[in-house]
Amino acid sequence: MTNKSLAKRPEDTCVLVTGGAGFIGSHTCVELLAEGYRVIVLDDLSNSSKEAVRRVRRIAGAGGERCAFVEGSILDRDLLGRVFAENDVDAIIHFAGFKAVGESVEKPLEYYWNNVAGTLVLCDVARAHGVKNVVFSSSATVYGEPEFVPITEDCPKHAPTNPYGQTKSMLEQVLSDLYAGDGEWNVVLLRYFNPIGAHPSGLIGEDPKGIPNNLVPYVAQVAVGKLAAVGVFGDDYPTPDGTGVRDYIHVVDLARGHVAALRWMGGKVGTGEPRGLGSVAGEPAPDGTRRGVGIFNLGTGRGSSVLEVIAAFSRACGRELPYVIKPRRAGDIAVNYAACDKARDELGWVAEYDLDRMCEDSWRWQSMNPDGYAS
């Protein structure tokens, strides 16, 4: 078998987490360590902080000893070679990538180079070391303007409206083609909806650079007094209160979805056969390690409007947060939320936390760390 086996205990499994110092990556490392995995974080710290790794270890307690950190880029072939040569990596959870929608429009070359070329280098070096188990951090953005909601994995992909989204869609195709050309590949594409919230300890959370582009980190900075008021991008959408509706998912729920994906890849759960166009699953290896491409939406299946988010965050922080209605933001869609039956049936995973809990945890992180990791 020219792929590492995943049919073994977490305690015997080493996971390379690229971008593991980032928002979703750091929360995923916490859950991996809690399950007993050995974790190697590779991060170039271009949009994250080494402090996040220190806090992941703090949350993990004794398990923190199983978390190693390597600073560097997925584009660095020599560094990747050393990581794989010096560690018995069994699987990769691949978060590393630039992710700012607006910035990607201004800097397409940097986005395609870092996200796409970087992933090609990563897969080439991994393959050379017999590692073909990859969980990829994808996004609901690959659906573009969805043909229907709730969105299932069979919903046709539409051309994303920005280079960032294009890199996600292209990399889904690349990873699917790796399996089409070599049946040993074991790939899971996780399509995130809107990750928000923070670890309940308040030690790790979302720490965007500059003025936040996304709603909840912006609201959090209004709540902590760093920004004056929330700008609501349009209140004339065809939605109950006129503002945009999204499927917000707690980052801890999202992180646990990655652990569930690893178990699935090892053939441990989700005996249900992959359903729909979204999955291409080959015959498992003799030891049960899966082969093929599994595609899963990770969301809650519930939509919340911008005004509902502001109201929930106001409850969490104990004061009415000010907002002003502004024109629609270019490229925004009215409604976007997931159908998550497939992740429930095959991964055995369901999001647990509601919007109030997401905002409570986000508020705790923000109020304890008003300047993010810098503070």
- Point out the residues that are catalytic: 164
Question: Which residue matches tokens 């987490």?
Answer: 17
Pairing of strands 133-139, 67-71: unpaired
CB 132 within 8 A of CB 87: no
Instruction: Tell the smallest beta-carbon distance from residue 335 to ligand WQD (Å).
Output: 9
* Residue closest to ligand WQD (Cβ): 244
User: Which C-beta is closer to ligand WQD: that of 319 or that of 329?
Assistant: 329
If you write DSSP's letter for every residue of 131-169 in order, what string do you get? --EEEEEEEGGGG-S-SSSSBPTTSPP---SSHHHHHHH
User: Which C-beta is closer to ligand WQD: that of 13 or that of 300?
Assistant: 300
Report residue 1 CA to chain centroid gap.
Answer: 29
Binding site for ligand WQD (CB under 6 A): 99, 101, 139, 141, 194, 213-215, 218, 231-233, 244, 246, 306, 329, 332
Of 89, 84, 90, 94, the closest CA to residue 5 belongs to 90
Whether the CA torsion 86, 91, 97, 100 is positive or negative: it is: negative
User: Which C-beta is closer to ligand WQD: that of 217 or that of 292?
Assistant: 217
Instruction: Tell the smallest beta-carbon distance from residue 286 to ligand WQD (Å).
Output: 37
User: Which C-beta is closer to ligand WQD: that of 176 or that of 213?
Assistant: 213
Within 10 angstroms of residue 128's Cβ, the number of other Cβ atoms is: 13
Instruction: Tell the smallest beta-carbon distance from residue 332 to ligand WQD (Å).
Output: 4
Report residue 229 CA to chain centroid gap.
Answer: 28
User: Which C-beta is closer to ligand WQD: that of 21 or that of 125?
Assistant: 21
Instruction: Tell the smallest beta-carbon distance from residue 264 to ligand WQD (Å).
Output: 22
If you write DSSP's letter for every residue of 160-182 in order, what string do you get? -SSHHHHHHHHHHHHHHHHHHH-
Instruction: Tell the smallest beta-carbon distance from residue 216 to ligand WQD (Å).
Output: 6
Give the separation between CA 210 and CA 58, rounded to whole angstroms.
27
User: Which C-beta is closer to ligand WQD: that of 210 or that of 286?
Assistant: 210
Question: Strands, E, within the chain: which ranges?
Answer: 14-18, 38-43, 67-71, 91-94, 133-139, 186-192, 194-196, 230-233, 245-246, 248-250, 280-281, 292-298, 304-305, 323-326, 335-336
Give the separation between CA 334 and CA 237, rounded to whole angstroms.
6
User: Which C-beta is closer to ligand WQD: that of 332 or that of 356?
Assistant: 332
Of 250, 248, 206, 236, the closest CA to residue 332 belongs to 236
Instruction: Tell the smallest beta-carbon distance from residue 144 to ligand WQD (Å).
Output: 11
Instruction: Tell the smallest beta-carbon distance from residue 202 to ligand WQD (Å).
Output: 21
